[in-house]
Every structure is written in C-alpha cells, then in structure tokens.
Structure 1
Amino acid sequence: MSFINKLIPTKKVIIIDIGTYKVKVALCEYKNNEINLISYKEKKQDSQNIIGTEISSIEGILNTIEDVFSNVLNNLDISVKDIILNIPTSTIISSGKDINYKRINDKESIDIKELDYIVSKVENEALIKAKESIFKKTGYLDVDMKLITSSITDINIDGFIVSNPIGFTGKDVFISVLNIFIPANRYNIITTIGNHLNKNILSIIPLEFSLPKILSNTDYQYDDVLFIDIGNSKTSLIVQKSGVIIGFDKINLGISDLIKNIKNSSGDTTIEIIKNIDKKDTYLKEKKEFLEVFEEGFILSLKEILKSSLVPHKVFISGGGDNEFVRAFIKNINLTKYTLHSLKPLDFIKIDFNEIKINGDKSIFNKTNLGILSMMIATKEIISYKNNPLISLVKSFIEKNEL
C-alpha cells in the first residue's frame, strides 16, 4: 500500500539472500524512487554450513557471507550502513487476521493517535490467533517466536479502500493483516550476522513474502497466482489473491534430494545430472519417486493455505527445480481427486525481465536467483514507505513484539 509524502534521500543497501545452496549478495542504491543494482556476487555454501534447511555452523555462514561481501564491494569506494536479508529455516509461520473495528466518533477525522490504537488492536488480536498456528506447526505452546514481518494487506473505511487512513472519517474500519514469524533462535542468528558485519539490519524479508513482488508492474500484479519455488532443499508455496498474499507453506523437499538419489543410483556427476534431467528417457525411476513425494507435500500445503477456496490457475515457478518434467507433472495433477478445485487448468506464466523496474544488468538473473531479485523489489517498497504513518506504526509494533 503506497503512500509517499516526500522524496526519500538516496540510500545504499546490501541485500543478502542466504540460501541452502548459495549465498547471494547484491549492492543496490535507492535514488529518485528507483532501485539500481551496482554489484552482484554469489558463492556456494560449504555443505557443513547448513544441514537440511537449518544453519548448522554460524561461523561457516559468517565466513561465506564475508567472502561474498568483500567481492561485492571490491574496488568500490562505497560506504554502506544498512543490510536487508533472509535466512533459511523450515519453521517460518504465517498467520492472517481480519478485523472489523467500529469507531465511536465516526464524524471525526482519524488522527495518528487513533490509528496507533487501531493498529495495536488489530495486531494484538492477530498475535492471539498466531499462537494457534504456531502450536499446530511446532507442537509447542511456549516456543519463542519472533515477529519479523507484518503487512497490512487490506484496509477500507465504510467499504472504500484507502492506503493511509489519516484524515478520513467513517464508522466501520476493516483491516486485514498478515504476520510472519520465525523461531527466536533463528532470529538471533540474523542479529549475529548484522553485528559481525557491523551493519544495521534494515529489514528481514523471507522469500515467501518477497517472491510475489516479481510480478509488480506486470499484467499479473493483481491476479490470483500460485507461486512455487523449488529450491535446493525445500519448496515454498505462496498463494496470492487479487494481488495480496493470503498464505504460504513449505515442503521439506528440494531438487538436491532428487540429485542425491540419482547420484547414488547412477554414479553420474551433478553436472551430468543437471544436463540430462529433462530428457524423457533419463532417471525415470528416481524422478517418479521424487514426484510422488512432491505431490503429497504439494496437496497438503495447498489445503493448509487455501482451506476451501479455489486454487489459482495461474502458476509462477522459480528455483533450481524449475524443470520441464516438474512443470509437466504439476500441470497434470488431478486436483479434484484431492477435493481441490480450480476454475481453469493450471497454466504457467512467464515474465519479461525488461518489465521489472530495476536498473542494472538484468542478464545475471535466472530461475535460480529470482529470490534476491524479488528482495530488491521489496527493498524499494520498504525504503519508499518509510514516511507512511501506517507502515511506521506496524514497524514499531514489530520491534516491540514477539511470542
């Protein structure tokens, strides 16, 4: 929800995408309401840094990030204070809440004090609901979770959509919020990274929150879309309805699981496997086993996100596991067999990188690093929105709260 009330000064920021396979780092500059890519580097993770989807060696992660960091800044006389980053973890939880708030004095204009009260009321009710989601996901009632991202996905007054409620009159205020949590011990790793690099953490942006930003300024921006990111060790499913994220889920299965299985049975190298994996007559047994597990997780995740609503027929796939045999399989999944329904057959959408409002060398981007590209787009929004009082109140709530 955009509301910029004055020009934001030029700002440089480093974006860090900590994946289970690679660490990717981009040096960007925000200027004149545009994001400019100055430098981009990536480095493969040591296999001991991350086991499964969780960091197992903080020292190893820090060393890898430092190496990529220095390469990004190599020979550049640039000082950067702020970083934006994500972190690999399978325990990332979203919880949404819709609130109807009835104002007592509907003839008076909403001021910052009342808006603060409304936001706090909405967020506190959302936190109560979130505890139920966290217990369902983790099995623990008292697990420490940190609220890292909160987004007001919809706000209207007496049925009219607004981006900034201040100054409006009206009786009924409807607000929809989406909160994202990670375990407190995972959050502590992020603060350790910031301290080690001597940088200020401007924001934490999970892939599940940033990936839909890829469709900003495209014909699909406000459509219903199912996003599927098949990464190295996990797969993320995100559902967007009318341009708003309604929920996401993770499958603890990634393309590396298939590659390891093929290596064990065939003796082929990783390079050979990647080169041949989409050929129709190769690795049939291994692909069949992989897709069977994928389908089970795919269906369970869709049901968790959608409940009884329709599956979006427009599908956007990214990640190293975006292969033709996977696309063909997804396209032919019989949703009705699992009491899921879509108005039309699933169809894959493509984007033109020239449509993406990022200045710089876009040729470096491919299916494996769309995550950091989406983080760049999200970064532009984060910096742009800093003067929106609604966003400021939500940010203040995030800084003060955890479960």
Structure 2
Amino acid sequence: MLFKSKQKEDANDNFIVSLDIGTEFVKALVAEIDGENINVIGVGRARQSLSDMHSGAIADISSVIHNCETALIEAEDQAGIQARKAVIGIAGELVKGNTSTIKYRRPQPNRPLDDAEMEFIIEKIQERAQIKAQREIALETGNKDAEVKLVNSAIVGIHIDGYKISNPIGFQGKDIAVQIYTAFAPMVHISAIERVANELALDLIAVAAEPFAVARSVIGTDSSSNFTAILADVGGGTTDIAVVNDGGVEGTKMFGIGGRSFTNQIANEMNLSYKNAEKLKVNLSGDKLQSNIVQEATEAIENTLDVWISGVELALSEFDNLDYLPNRVLLCGGGASLQGLVDKLEDTDWWKDLPFNKKPKIKYIQPSEVVGINDGTGKLVDHTFITAMGLLRVAYDTYTGNENVGDSFKDKLNKILRV
C-alpha cells in the first residue's frame, strides 16, 4: 500500500481538502479559499470494496486509507498542489444530531448580557446534549460505557423573555431560551477517521456529520438566511436527513437503508452477482435495458422502496418541535439517482400523516446551487458531489473561524461553537 509522504512541502494555508468517505465511493476535493469564495481546483474519486464500510461507518481502516489515497492523489494531481488542512465527513446510524432548547434564568436580569455569559450558557447546552446522545448510543449498542464526541454545533434560535432576537449581546432580561443543534458520534468512529487523516499526513481541522455538511452547503454564509427545506442524502449504506428551517439546522436523522440495499435486493431476486446487479440498477432509468428486465428489477426493489419510504416517514415524524415541515425535499447522494426512489416520493401519499401544509416538491440539489463554491474543474456535474462540497463549506467555516475571527456576533458564536 502506498501512503503519502509525511512531509508536504510548500503546503499553502489557503488550500483545503474535503474527504467524503462514502460506502460506495470516496470523493476528494481540493479547493482554494479566495475571500468568501471557495474555488474547487481538484477532484478525485475511488470505489470502495464491499467490506470497507458498514452502515456508513469505516469497517476496514487500511483498505479505506488506500482508497482515500487514490482519490486524494487524483485530486491533488489535477490541482497541482498538496493540501494539508482537511475536513472528513462522518455518517452512520450512531451519529446523533439534535436541536436542544435550554431555558436559563439569569441571576441578574438587569445586567446587559455579555460574551462570557453567552459562552457559559452554550457550554451548558452542549453538556446536556452530550449526555442525551451518550444515552441514545448506549441504548442502541448495548454499551453503557460508549464514549461520544461533539462533532458539530450551530445556533438555531435565541429568545429573551419570549422575544426572538438575532444578537443577544447587550440585551437585558430574565429568561433566555437558546436552541442549538449538536451532532455527536461514537469515539470509535472518530478514532478511525483520525487514523485515516494521520496516515494521509492531513491536518484534520474538523470532522463533520454529513447531513450537517449538506445543510451548510445550501445555507452558505448568510446569517439572515431564510432557507427552508428537507435535505435527504441517500448514500450507499445510509440515508441522512436534515431539516433546515429559516437558515437553522433543526436536526439530523439517519437510517441504514441506501443504494446497496436496492442492489442486494436485485442480486437476490434475479440471481445476479453484486457487480452485475449494481450495473443493472444504474441503468434502470436509461434505455439500455430490455423492458422485461426493467420490469423484473423494478418489482425486485419495490419492497425495499416501501421500507425506505417508511424510514423517511419515521425520521421526519421525530421533528415534533415544528408546527409544519418544509414543503421541499432536496435530494443528493449516489443512491438518490434511482428513479424509483424519486417516483416513490412524488407519486405516493407518504407525506399525508406528517405535518406538511401541502404536498412537498421533490428535486435534486445541483452543484451550481451550493453557495459560495465555484467549480474550476468541470467535474462537479451532479447531485452526487453535494456532500463533498458541503464538507468544503465546513472546512471554510473552521478555517475562517480559527484564522480570521472578526467582531460580529456571528463570528464570536462561531468561535465559541468551534469543536
């Protein structure tokens, strides 16, 4: 196995790399930061083996490192540079992303709120969220001693004495309610990602929950964004869902059905190898197959599609803090390319028992819709690259938060929330 040299000569601080370690593919993007713009200058991709990942998490570290190496070399060769600062995505059913609300009664309500008090409040929220995530993961794994680590955190909303405000600094008031999104992951998965970064001689500046990264890709840097949508990233092993309301991430949910579930069903029902079943699935929406083959494959995956849509319903039903769910569902990820999946969302009544005020519209997220990221390679052609682009946005947030923190309230909050 070939590993990158530990010495990366002339590594420029304005270059960042994102690694989307998916179940089916590893995708690597190299980008240059130019002010508020992120310019992609290198793209690489490598296919994973069947045993490399399990339910969206790394199962074979050495093989995944080799695949990441292959994708990264391709991206760096195109970019003509070696980037050191990296963000790597994390997914899987044990990544827990929730929005928590904590109410805090100030002992001195007539004293203007300052940065130190806000930092204290946020730390208390994160502590409470970590305990909750640890309990959930312990329950699901049967390991009461499971360690978890905070991977992402973002403010959703702040109220003082019942009034919603964007910047609480300087306000007086007795009761503060803060909504904050936090994502936690098991340390065993974090450690595997850290090992990958170390072997590739990357400076791991952040690990990001992938649905959070997708949300960051479409929200961008606008602190007053009113972007509202349900985001569904359908990968090879999992489906990751994020609900964004008025520019804030309300929460993320994941369940273990992705593209490979459909491939396995075709392989089993039609007595095919996995490789041939995958090829058949990819060509289902084209004109390359005979109609009887298309019909047989479509019937083979029907039950799995029913289970998948039930997973979507269940995930969205857990957002019980919202009066209404957004009426847009935006898709990304390689698994979302299956036309039957889109048809299921568009042509069935799965949404009627959920708090939608009208039938949701379904569309793919296009690379051109990712805020502030420009493709200089011509290779970011469809919705399958959105997660990797979102990871670049998280890298940018972290980079600017560490290096160029200004005096705005948003900058100060970003610094407090840095993980």
What is the TM-score when the length of structure 1 is the normalising length?
0.85
Mapped contact 1:126–1:177 kept (Cα < 8 A): no
| Residue in structure 2 matched with residue 390 of structure 1 by the alignment | 413
Please tell me whether residue 329 in structure 1 is matched to residue 344 in structure 2: yes
Among 235, 246, 255, the alignment partner of 1:242 is: 246
Which amino acid is the alignment partner of residue 374 of structure 2?
A: N
Mapped contact 1:229–1:317 kept (Cα < 8 A): yes
Cα distance change of structure 1 residues 334 and 307 upon mapping to structure 2, 3 Å threshold: farther
- Counterpart-to-counterpart distance in 2, 1:227 and 1:76: 30
CA shift, 1:343, in A, is 0.6
Superposition map of 1:280-319 within 5 A? 282=295, 283-306=297-320, 309-319=323-333
Mapped contact 1:89–1:186 kept (Cα < 8 A): no
Residues 190-246 of structure 1, C-alpha deviation per residue, up to 9 Å, x if partnerless? 221222223221111121101123333699962432222221121112222222221
Cα distance change of structure 1 residues 218 and 277 upon mapping to structure 2, 3 Å threshold: farther
Mapped contact 2:154–2:249 kept (Cα < 8 A): no
Among 251, 257, 261, the alignment partner of 1:253 is: 257
Which amino acid is the alignment partner of residue 270 of structure 1?
A: E
- Counterpart-to-counterpart distance in 2, 1:295 and 1:183: 27
- Counterpart-to-counterpart distance in 1, 2:235 and 2:137: 24
Among 214, 222, 229, the alignment partner of 1:225 is: 229
Structure 1 SS opposite 2:384: coil
- Counterpart-to-counterpart distance in 2, 1:355 and 1:215: 7
- Counterpart-to-counterpart distance in 2, 1:118 and 1:17: 33
Cα root mean square deviation, aligned: 3.0
Mapped contact 1:233–1:256 kept (Cα < 8 A): yes
| Residue in structure 2 matched with residue 86 of structure 1 by the alignment | 89
Among 110, 113, 136, the alignment partner of 1:110 is: 113
CA shift, 1:150, in A, is 1.7
Which amino acid is the alignment partner of residue 374 of structure 1?
A: G
Mapped contact 1:278–1:325 kept (Cα < 8 A): no
Cα distance change of structure 1 residues 362 and 302 upon mapping to structure 2, 3 Å threshold: farther
Cα distance change of structure 1 residues 136 and 245 upon mapping to structure 2, 3 Å threshold: farther
| Residue in structure 2 matched with residue 31 of structure 1 by the alignment | 34
- Counterpart-to-counterpart distance in 2, 1:170 and 1:233: 47
Which amino acid is the alignment partner of residue 373 of structure 1?
A: M
- Counterpart-to-counterpart distance in 1, 2:190 and 2:175: 37
CA shift, 1:24, in A, is 0.8
Cα distance change of structure 1 residues 88 and 179 upon mapping to structure 2, 3 Å threshold: closer
Cα distance change of structure 1 residues 258 and 221 upon mapping to structure 2, 3 Å threshold: farther
Please tell me whether residue 274 in structure 1 is matched to residue 310 in structure 2: no
CA shift, 1:25, in A, is 0.7
- Counterpart-to-counterpart distance in 1, 2:198 and 2:120: 33
Which amino acid is the alignment partner of residue 315 of structure 2?
A: S
| Residue in structure 2 matched with residue 203 of structure 1 by the alignment | 206
- Counterpart-to-counterpart distance in 1, 2:307 and 2:385: 25
Where does the alignment leave 5 or more consecutive residues of structure 1 unmatched?
1-8, 399-403
CA shift, 1:93, in A, is 0.9
Mapped contact 1:318–1:370 kept (Cα < 8 A): yes
Please tell me whether residue 373 in structure 1 is matched to residue 389 in structure 2: yes
Cα distance change of structure 1 residues 58 and 129 upon mapping to structure 2, 3 Å threshold: closer
Which amino acid is the alignment partner of residue 262 of structure 2?
A: L
Which amino acid is the alignment partner of residue 372 of structure 1?
A: A
Mapped contact 1:16–1:372 kept (Cα < 8 A): yes
| Residue in structure 2 matched with residue 179 of structure 1 by the alignment | 182
Judge which range, 205-214 or 152-161, deviates more.
Answer: 152-161
CA shift, 1:11, in A, is 2.2
Mapped contact 2:53–2:59 kept (Cα < 8 A): yes
Identity of aligned residues (%): 22
Mapped contact 1:37–1:359 kept (Cα < 8 A): yes
Structure 2 SS opposite 1:253: coil
Judge which range, 353-362 or 84-93, deviates more.
Answer: 353-362
CA shift, 1:167, in A, is 4.6
Please tell me whether residue 45 in structure 1 is matched to residue 61 in structure 2: no
| Residue in structure 2 matched with residue 6 of structure 1 by the alignment | none
- Counterpart-to-counterpart distance in 1, 2:175 and 2:228: 27
| Residue in structure 2 matched with residue 66 of structure 1 by the alignment | 69
Mapped contact 1:215–1:221 kept (Cα < 8 A): no
Cα distance change of structure 1 residues 56 and 349 upon mapping to structure 2, 3 Å threshold: closer
- Counterpart-to-counterpart distance in 2, 1:215 and 1:166: 27
Residues 35-70 of structure 1, C-alpha deviation per residue, up to 9 Å, x if partnerless? 111211111112332244332211111112122222
Among 57, 60, 63, the alignment partner of 1:57 is: 60
- Counterpart-to-counterpart distance in 2, 1:62 and 1:16: 11
| Residue in structure 1 matched with residue 102 of structure 2 by the alignment | 99
Aligned residues: 386
- Counterpart-to-counterpart distance in 2, 1:32 and 1:66: 29
Mapped contact 1:10–1:32 kept (Cα < 8 A): no
